[in-house]
Amino acid sequence: MLRGKHIVLGVTGGIAAYKSCYLLRELQREGATVRVVMTDAAARFVTPLTFSALSGQEVYTDLWTANQSTGSNIGTQHIDLANWADALLIAPASANTIAKLTVGLSDNLLTIVTLATRRPVILAPTMDADMYLNEITQQNLVTLRARGYAVIPAGEGEHASGLKGPGRLPEIDVIIRFVAGVLDKTFLDLTAKKILVTAGPTYESIDPVRFIGNRSSGKMGFAIAQAAALRGAEVTLIAGPVQLETPRNVKRIDVESAEQMQKAVSAEAKKADAVFMAAAVADFTPQTPSRAKIKKDVRSKNLDLHLTATPDILGTLGGKKNGTVLVGFALETDNELTHAKEKLKSKNLDLIVLNSLADEGAGFGVDTNVVTIIERNGHAKKLKKMAKFDVANEILNRVKNLFQHRDE
């Protein structure tokens, strides 16, 4: 799978560093030539000698010492390595190295090479489950993906600490397939698909100053847009008022109210192969927003606002569906599954993603989610707590299957 490829294997400090010895051998077995760069912390877990013996090459550990075997001098060895590589694979990638890469710190040979290379950078984040699921790590990974780094979803299971959850080094064959996919671009499995995503809340004006809104952060919708774009899709993202960076290669349209979102969606949905309505659209809007700021009336203690229903954007699309895959999101507080299934039917959807408010690490603002994906035939699968980006890919995998059935 990797015949003739040059891989720089970055090893960072973590107990999983010993598995990189097996990874190195498999990369070589697949035909790659591998040069290993280790951080100081990695060299405390496994000695450079082990990697050197396995790779048949001197191992790079020190920024300040020239490497004899490649003849590079101290000043240029990072550039030489960065240019030599067809891909840079960091496995395990520690929380520390991930954080450094996010801010462009380059205080050791590995981070310098990563900053210097123009070739694909592939990370296998590996750490204790709590560190992996920590908002800081998740946000760093969102940022790195937005900049085009390929991030392999972490493996699940028991950690050396005894903790259970995501953050293990993925199986070696998973890593190898991922690297091969990045190099021959087979991970671009949604190329030529047009995908429309809505995200965030809507703001419904009461007067020029005040509005009715909700707590949606937009993160789930942005994760879907980002994941789809990384898989090669042509993505349009209609965003309500949110504080999020536009993912790379995504066309963004900003809107504020449900009415504006409706207009934008109906213009864009015609071209879409799939629509993901992840926005938390307001169900009601003030009937006649005041032109001037409503004054506080000292005599009356109450203010009556008359609200009217907004158009059901997704329901309208479902009513005149012609082959577009429609994905809805539901957030329920009681009888969750029954309500979500009813919504899937009444809006004529292909999938509905049920968000839980009850589970810790799910819902508004956070970078993780706990969802149940329900299909048209009623089949429901509750996924474990995972990064919103990983949830996005799970949803996209199912939509990809639906495309295949549709095209058959």
Catalytic residues, by residue number, are 214
Q: If binding means CB under 6 A, how many residues of this protein chain bind ligand C5P?
A: 13
Task: Please identify, using beta-carbon distances, which residue of 14 and 318 lies nearer to ligand C5P.
Answer: 318
Q: How far apart are CB 377 and ligand C5P at their closest, in Å?
A: 20
Task: Please identify, using beta-carbon distances, which residue of 110 and 264 lies nearer to ligand C5P.
Answer: 264
Specify whether the CB–CB gap between 334 and 359 falls below 8 A. Answer: no
* Residue 257 in tokens: 């109210």
Q: How far apart are CB 141 and ligand C5P at their closest, in Å?
A: 25
* Residue 299 in tokens: 């005599």
Q: How far apart are CB 313 and ligand C5P at their closest, in Å?
A: 3
Task: Please identify, using beta-carbon distances, which residue of 7 and 354 lies nearer to ligand C5P.
Answer: 354
Q: How far apart are CB 353 and ligand C5P at their closest, in Å?
A: 8
Say which residues have a Cβ less than 8 Å from residue 208's Cβ, sequence separation at least 6. 290, 291, 292, 293
Contact pattern for ligand C5P over residues 248 through 287, marking x by CB under 6 A: ----------x------------------x-x-x-x----
Task: Please identify, using beta-carbon distances, which residue of 35 and 343 lies nearer to ligand C5P.
Answer: 343
Q: How far apart are CB 318 and ligand C5P at their closest, in Å?
A: 9
Contact pattern for ligand C5P over residues 306 through 345, marking x by CB under 6 A: ----x-xxx-------------xxx------------x--
Q: How far apart are CB 369 and ligand C5P at their closest, in Å?
A: 14
Q: How far apart are CB 207 and ligand C5P at their closest, in Å?
A: 22
The CA distances from residue 355 to 62, 241, 359, in Å, are: 47, 21, 9
Per DSSP bridges, beta strands 351-356 and 325-332 are: parallel
218 counts as binding ligand C5P under rule CB under 6 A: no
Task: Please identify, using beta-carbon distances, which residue of 90 and 281 lies nearer to ligand C5P.
Answer: 281
Identify which of 204, 225, 332 has the alpha carbon closest to the alpha carbon of residue 277: 225
The CA distances from residue 348 to 228, 317, 321, in Å, are: 23, 9, 8
Task: Please identify, using beta-carbon distances, which residue of 310 and 368 lies nearer to ligand C5P.
Answer: 310
Task: Please identify, using beta-carbon distances, which residue of 223 and 314 lies nearer to ligand C5P.
Answer: 314
Contact pattern for ligand C5P over residues 145 through 174, marking x by CB under 6 A: ------------------------------
Sheet of strand 33-38, all strands in order from the earlier edge strand to the far edge: 33-38, 6-11, 87-93, 121-125, 150-151
Footprint on this chain of ligand C5P (rule: CB under 6 A): 258, 277, 279, 281, 283, 310, 312-314, 328-330, 343
